[in-house]
Structure 1
């Protein structure tokens, strides 16, 4: 697949704080500057969670951080490049963001989805007037189909995590966190393919070099964790998590290089731990986070990452939903 190969050729050094600041200017007015909220006070402060800060990307347009990267990608392209429409493959959230981009550009948006996509995501995508194609057991299968159609029909393809322009857009989260709380010591970020954590880490380390970046993956989709441990890019045989947005069977070398450079440690959480975190967010704070959106909080509530006394920690609540509350 030619397009996939092109993305793999990008180098981590191509993405700097300059590109992220340019992205912030480019997407301003098209995405929300989401709030940074303290958990304090809460009834049950678990593992120092009372002092935890939350970056509420669950309040972002379309319901997740993905709108940042998709809008940055759209605004980097000429009208001619998008004239035949835009296309992607997604576990749901990136698809919603690309559908939003299509609405902004007034061009058709086609979203390939795996069979594991939730009915809630399908309903949301239909409301954004996207053309949906459900094909493949996982995102990786859907992506191969989307790439083939993009090349055949000359459509603009939006990679969910291995495009420097997408990564720069997601990096604006890091800018906002440190503008609002310059003394943050640690940022905890969920990992699907690795686009969000890559961008956040580049921005955060450029502004505050000593800051710690912690990654979180589901036990049933430990794509980046296992690749880093193995010392090379691997593809999982199957995905075994209900957190669909975190269900990529393989990352790309660009993201793995950035994670190796910037991320201190990756923790694995179970679906039950994400579900418990989603319920904690809802009942304690009134925040409706999907399973994937609660992953960063789950690593703290589940005692995987134990902040030191006085450590200032921010967890990114990356997506909205009710799957963790209702299950």
Structure 2
């Protein structure tokens, strides 16, 4: 789907449109989940433009297209964060945006969408149903559709997170990455396997939306019979075949967490560090706090705080 060169091209293209986010040492937390000698770095994509890493892929997709292709507007479907990023990309281009959301999308994210000038439609119980409606709308109106994870330009944009981390801390042993549709972990793992091949890469999905976990177990892409997670930004019934191929090749393991563990981790990030992370943004920290990942003494860990929000306090 993408190469390291695609990600490097994306990094050059989006420079000046996104922030270089901090990598914060979190090893001194009062309630540390780490064994002796291990260290934890938090990549704060919650401080990114629009509040998540999604700004990278959305602006890369926009800048990959000729201006006349987006002149009448752009369309997407999202659990929240990608939609905000697309709305902001449209704002940058001076064109309209239309965003389809599942009915349980966080009200705060709906308000952010409106602040970027998006027209929003609430349809369905989870992302896939909103996606079907958005695709039909895009086709009927002749507008470009910004897919949150099946577009190579989106995935390449998300991969720039890994380029930044390796510049900031080249000796990380373990990367923990939340999974919704899989675009983030696909983009980042493409970079990491090329430049830092010995690092472990672990993905985190909700128990109620084990999209890639189930596909890896099956050996091919499967569509889940039901999506029951209450985390809209991680609710996806089916990944993309290209994403699946990358994850199967690059990712060491995918683990499942209950929604409650992610909400607990979001509260931990707030009380320990003053970080307002949404549930998906807290998923990587939750993987450590839950004890599901075995960490040897001396391991240097990077956990992504990939999205901002106050879900855990709603």
Q: How does 1:127-276 map to 2 (within 5 A)?
A: 127-276=115-264
User: Which residue number in structure 1 is paired with residue 12 of structure 2?
Assistant: 25
1:38 equivalent among 25, 43, 66: 25
Q: For 1:48 and 1:291, locate their aligned partners in 2 and report how far apart those are by CA, in whole Å.
A: 24
Q: Deviation at 1:237?
A: 2.4
Q: Deviation at 1:233?
A: 1.3
TM-score relative to the length of structure 1 = 0.94
Q: More helix per residue: 1 or 2?
A: 1
Q: For 1:228 and 1:21, locate their aligned partners in 2 and report how far apart those are by CA, in whole Å.
A: 28
Deviations 1:148-181 (A, max 9, x none): 1111211111000011110000000000011000
- SS of residue in 2 equivalent to 1:158: coil
Matched, 1:109 2:76: no
Q: Deviation at 1:48?
A: 3.4
Q: Tell me if the contact between 2:77 and 2:134 (Cα under 8 Å) persists in the aligned partners.
A: yes
1:79 equivalent among 59, 67, 83: 67
Deviations 1:288-314 (A, max 9, x none): 111111001101110111211111110
Deviates more, 1:269-278 or 1:94-103: 269-278
Q: Deviation at 1:279?
A: 1.0
Gaps of 5+ in 1: 1-11
State the aligned residue count: 313
Deviations 1:103-137 (A, max 9, x none): 01000000011111111111111111101011122
Q: Deviation at 1:47?
A: 3.1
- SS of residue in 1 equivalent to 2:204: strand
Q: For 1:213 and 1:164, locate their aligned partners in 2 and report how far apart those are by CA, in whole Å.
A: 21
Q: For 1:48 and 1:93, locate their aligned partners in 2 and report how far apart those are by CA, in whole Å.
A: 33
Q: For 1:25 and 1:234, locate their aligned partners in 2 and report how far apart those are by CA, in whole Å.
A: 35
User: Which residue number in structure 2 is paired with residue 7 of structure 1?
Assistant: none
Q: Tell me if the contact between 1:162 and 1:195 (Cα under 8 Å) persists in the aligned partners.
A: yes
Gaps of 5+ in 2: none
User: Which residue number in structure 1 is paired with residue 79 of structure 2?
Assistant: 91
Q: Tell me if the contact between 2:102 and 2:232 (Cα under 8 Å) persists in the aligned partners.
A: no
Deviates more, 1:152-161 or 1:43-52: 43-52
TM-score relative to the length of structure 2 = 0.97
Q: Deviation at 1:40?
A: 2.6
